[in-house]
Amino acid sequence: MRIGIVSPYSFSVPGGVQGHIRDLAQTLIGLGHHVSVLAPAEHDDELPPFVVPAGRAIPVPYNGSVARLSFGPISASRVRRWIKHGAFDVLHVHEPLSPSLSLLACAASSGPVVATFHTAITRSRTLLAGKGVAQLVLERIAARIAVSASARRVQVEHLGGGAVEIPNGVIVDQFAAAEPLDGWPGPDGAIGFVGRFTEPRKGFPILCDAFVALARSRPGLRLLVLGPGEQAEALRGVPPDVAQRIVFLGMADDVTKARMLRSVTAYIAPNTGGESFGMILTEAMSAGTPVIASDIDAFRRVLADGTAGALFPVGDATALADTIDALLSDPQRMAGLVARADEIVTDYDWRFVAEWVLDVYHAAIEATGSAVTAGDTELSRQLETT
């Protein structure tokens, strides 16, 4: 099968959606399919061989974060050209209502188009400029996928249709077989955090406050952080002696991330909201690392209501410190959480998840009875001037 996949977000910067698309593409290629991914990126960026760069992306505040998106006449032209040359049996767009390439691809194509919705966002700011545009885009989609119950709920309640719920996948073996980083976790243990630590909804200040509270009772405990951000800003208000025990790895590749997750005694997810799934949780679970996460709906579902990881009240640094302290003091409970996580995470292995996605592809092809075609439609022209 010839499969075209469209990413709305730049492949120059790591993110959950980009990681999902990359791993899905690699898995499908491993199953013998031809896959091409179109994504915002520069031609000199280091990209997987199956990714076609669509040009520079612009940072835009979006869904409580900063997304790097591509939009406009030049982007639309590149999307149409890629679709025409691809001769795809199915087109798979991600976050089709975000103001970027996926939206343009929906507008410029017809046939078996599959869309995956990753977030629980109910509307796009860009689409507000044109009444009915969202519905016109959705009408071009033959089948919908939602990565979580909350994302699926948006389809039912706000977008006039349902979706097949297929979770984010994880390459379990990649994390299970990783070697810990040299010197970690150390004799007194370590906790870890992955993400943009200066982005408020990721909750890093809550983790810092909890770490400061634990500093005296656990003088050897360290905090290992992977992700982009300004360290000086992140450490503002943290006592210097405690700050010395926080190690920043900066941006890193997936191999380093897997090793980092294997290097900590527990992984901490202090997010305050805006998460529809929690891919980093399944990655930590695959690494055999106990998880402590804020009690938001998405995390609670992944952690099976706290049986596969410890939960604490959202935004409560004191409760987080107590939860970390209690779990690190209870090896038997940690082992129990890891054992339960091992059972659950097999359901998220890409080897199985990709087969569910392929079933949706076949259903879309059967429903439309044609291959993907592209053209300069009235809807695409309308979007280019929005």
Please give the Cα distance from 264 to 287 (Å, whole number): 10
pLDDT at 164 over 60: yes
Which residues, 6 or more positions from 121, have their beta carbon under 8 angstroms from its beta carbon?
63, 97, 154
pLDDT of residue 130: 46
Q: Where are the domains of the chain?
A: 2-169+349-384, 172-347
Q: What is the mean pLDDT of residues 330-348?
A: 97
Average pLDDT over the chain reads: 89
Q: Which of 205, 185, 212 has its CA nearest to residue 325?
A: 212
Instruction: Say yes or no: do domains 2-169+349-384 and 172-347 share a fold.
Output: yes
Q: What is the mean pLDDT of residues 60-65?
A: 61
pLDDT digits 0-9 by tens, 22-46:
999 999 999 999 999 999 987 777 8
pLDDT at 196 over 60: yes
Please give the Cα distance from 386 to 380 (Å, whole number): 10
The answer to whether the beta carbons of residues 102 and 93 sit under 8 Å apart is: yes
Q: Which of 310, 300, 368, 356 has its CA nearest to residue 146?
A: 356
List the beta bridge partners of residue 61: 66
Q: Which of 57-61, 157-161, 294-298, 365-369 has the lowest mean pLDDT?
A: 157-161
pLDDT of residue 66: 62
pLDDT digits 0-9 by tens, 93-122:
999 988 889 999 999 999 999 999 987 655
Angle in degrees, CA 210, 196, 246, rounded to 5? 45
pTM value is 0.83
pLDDT digits 0-9 by tens, 290-322:
999 999 998 999 999 999 999 999 999 999 999
pLDDT at 71 over 80: no
In the block, which residue shows the tokens 């199915």? 90
Percent of the chain with pLDDT over 70: 89
CATH topology (fold) of 172-347:
Rossmann fold (3.40.50)
Strand ordering across the sheet containing 113-117: 51-53, 34-39, 2-6, 90-94, 113-117, 143-146, 164-165
CATH number for 2-169+349-384 (one of 3.40.50.2000, 3.30.1360.120, 3.30.470.30, 3.40.50.720): it is 3.40.50.2000
